[in-house]
Copies of this chain bind each other. A is one copy, B any other.
Amino acid sequence: MPKEGITPRAQDYSQWYLDIVRGADMADYAEVVRGCIVFKPTGYAIWEAMQRGLDDRIKATGHVNAYFPLLIPKSFLMREADHVEGFAPEVAEVTRAGGEELAEPYVIRPTSETIIGYFYAKWIRSWRDLPLLINQWANVMRWELRTRPFLRTTEFLWQEGHTVHATHDEAERETLLVLNEIYADFVEKEMALPVIKGLKTAKETFAGALRSYALEAMMQDGRALQTATSHNLGQNFAKAFDITFSDQHNSIQHAWTTSWGISTRLIGALIMAHSDDEGLIIPPRLAPIQVVVVPIYKNDAEHSAVLAAVERISAEWRGRLRFKIDDRDHLTPGFKYNEWELKGIPIRVEVGPKDIEKGSVAVARRDMPGKAGKSFIQQAGLLAHLERLLAEIQQGLYDRALRFREEHTYEATNYDELKIGVERGFVRCYWAGTTEDEQRIQDETKATIRVIPLEQPDQAGACVLTGEMTTQQVIFARAY
């Protein structure tokens, strides 16, 4: 029986997603501000955990944080031809400030390559100033027509890295280092979400980039979600903003830049990859609360005894795991179980008078609803058991998502097979088509080439559309 208020996934995936967001109290629609949401405490705490995991990796790979202005002179967008085409239609413009009309409007940053490029041009003089490895945590705004909580909102939160290098190869190495050591490592280890790393086709490349790399993950409806992008911008922005340096031979060169970002979209990916018809499921490493303890009692005497036992049992947990004792007195245990299931807390520990007698507790796994995930555990050694269980749940979620992706990835050797495959999941196939072919397939199937995977086959094969022999395989999928 599905949980009250949650539409089953199988019935309406899209409505299920919105029900989880509401049921877990993660966000509210900001109906008075077009396309925005409020990140409520439960949703924002997940973003804070993501920020910590990402920021640690960003710093461990030699980057430092800084902060650049929210507003960008509108003319800056125009300096890079592809960039303006990509972003100008969806910017919000500040035209009045301090009670006066502005001579030149500002746009609220949709991304910061232009404003940061302007400053980098001022700061960089010599090869000794390179590489410059800066990241920014910020809000950005893109006036999208169709929005959806977390997945696509006019304002969203993200980090954007912007680096400058002396050579193309160094910029390329940075682009891939970020993709592998920051993003893929984070998404796979912390979010428990397997990713396919790859290059975007020309059609899907970032506006102004030489090459865009991305991570693609499969959601439970078989669609792809791009969880991170990392762009080698070549010399495009360096030329538009005159970012030059004097090299070791005192010759002035244009620099090579990169940019890379990951956003609050990840919260949407987290929901869609792991959750079930009971509510949200948060991987233990990202869970703001990993273990919730629900005391069970019928009268005041039991209440005191049980709370004392809970305090005693959990005394050694502090600093070892993140937990909460739900001692709200006006709610039934059943109501609390339901609420913490909806909110995706990995483990629930129940302690009642009988448990005290037996020296045990009941432990329920969120990733295995019902009896399958419930067991009675001795209080002695409980902490070690919970720590093992959290690791097991983390790995189990990853394994389950990987198995799901493998079961929903199809090899296609012709267009008919491709069409059937993208109805169900990812299609892996040889590809030698043009951008026009890619567009035609999108128009006909709603699927796009998500990536040209970094891992490619040894052997050639026939292009799924043209039959031409090629060694290049791609992933087609419908995407969020």
Contact = CB atoms under 8 A, between A and B. Distances in A.
Contacts of A69: 30, 33, 36-38, 155
9 contacts: A28-B122, A38-B119, A39-B66, A39-B68, A45-B65, A69-B155, A70-B141, A93-B95, A94-B108
Given A33-B72, A92-B97, A138-B139, 14 more contacts: A28-B122, A32-B73, A33-B115, A34-B97, A38-B66, A38-B68, A41-B64, A70-B141, A90-B98, A92-B98, A93-B95, A94-B108, A128-B330, A139-B139
A106 interface: yes
Contacts of A119: 28, 30, 38
A67 B48 CA distance: 11
B97 A94 contact: no
Nearest to A132: B41
Contacts of A99: 89
Copies in the complex: 2
Interface string A53-91: 000000000001111111111001000000000000111
What 5 pairs across the A-B complex have the smallest Cβ distances?
Answer: A98-B143, A39-B67, A92-B97, A41-B64, A93-B96
A91 to B, nearest CB: 7
A92 B89 contact: no
B44 A155 contact: no
A97 B107 CA distance: 9
A372 B48 CA distance: 44
A139 B119 CA distance: 20
Interface in A12-47: 28, 30, 32-34, 36-41, 44-45, 47
Nearest to A93: B96
A143 B97 contact: yes
A262 B179 CA distance: 36
A280 interface: no
Interface string A117-130: 01100110000100
Contact of A118 (B32, B89, B91, B94): B32
Nearest to A34: B97
Contacts of A157: 67
A90 B155 CA distance: 22
Interface of A: 28, 30, 32-34, 36-41, 44-45, 47-48, 64-73, 76, 89-99, 105-106, 108, 115, 118-119, 122-123, 128, 134, 138-139, 141, 143, 145, 155, 157, 330
A41 B70 contact: no
A292 to B, nearest CB: 16
A109 B96 CA distance: 14
A66 B40 contact: yes
A61 to B, nearest CB: 15
A400 B70 CA distance: 38
A16 B134 CA distance: 28
Given A36-B71, A70-B155, A95 B98 contact: no
Nearest to A97: B92
Nearest to A157: B67
Nearest to A139: B70
